[in-house]
Structure 1
């Protein structure tokens, strides 16, 4: 009878150890999946931010190139600053 009890205790101990190992491996697996999900979400967020920044950079590059054009500079000087060329007359709209 005692031999059977010892075998049952060994058997139960093996079951408990196996259960603990399986639970630990399961926990590690789930934890890794959560980490990978968060990293994937962060990559998508930062990729979208990078695309926005690149679009803004392209727009600024175009504006810079445009600002180097003499015709653009003259148009802005006339519109925003009210400047005129020598010999021209300013025409103001009537009220």
Structure 2
């Protein structure tokens, strides 16, 4: 039976520690890259929503758009017009 020297046991422990640390760091990096991808997707969706809302703000300042909404949502008509009721 071979004897294990203290040097060999020490080197084995150091190698195990380095291997464990390396694997642990790879797992952490993988999770961080996954998180970055998720946050990038969320940021892009938020930017698109923000742009859509900015466009709505610009539209809401247009008197023709306001009139269109008043006609569609509230059923308002101009003086002298007769309302048309949709049977749907």
Q: Given the two structures, how large is their TM-score scaled by the length of structure 1? A: 0.79
Q: Which residue of the partner structure matches residue 31 of structure 1? A: 24
- Of 35, 39, 42 in structure 2, the residue corresponding to residue 46 of structure 1 is 39
Displacement of 1:80 in angstroms is 1.6
Q: Which residue of the partner structure matches residue 69 of structure 1? A: 62
What stretches of structure 2 of length at least 5 have no aligned partner? Answer: none
Displacement of 1:22 in angstroms is 0.6
Q: Which has the larger helix fraction? A: 1
Q: Which residue of the partner structure matches residue 55 of structure 1? A: 48
Q: Structure 1 75/45 Cα, relative in aligned 2: closer, same or farther at 3 Å? A: same
Cα displacement string for residues 13-61 of structure 1 (whole angstroms, at most 9, x for unaligned residues):
1100000001101111111111011001000001001100110110111
Query: Which of structure 1's runs of 4+ aligned residues deviate more than 3 A?
Result: 91-94
What stretches of structure 1 of length at least 5 have no aligned partner? Answer: 1-7
**How many matched pairs?**
86
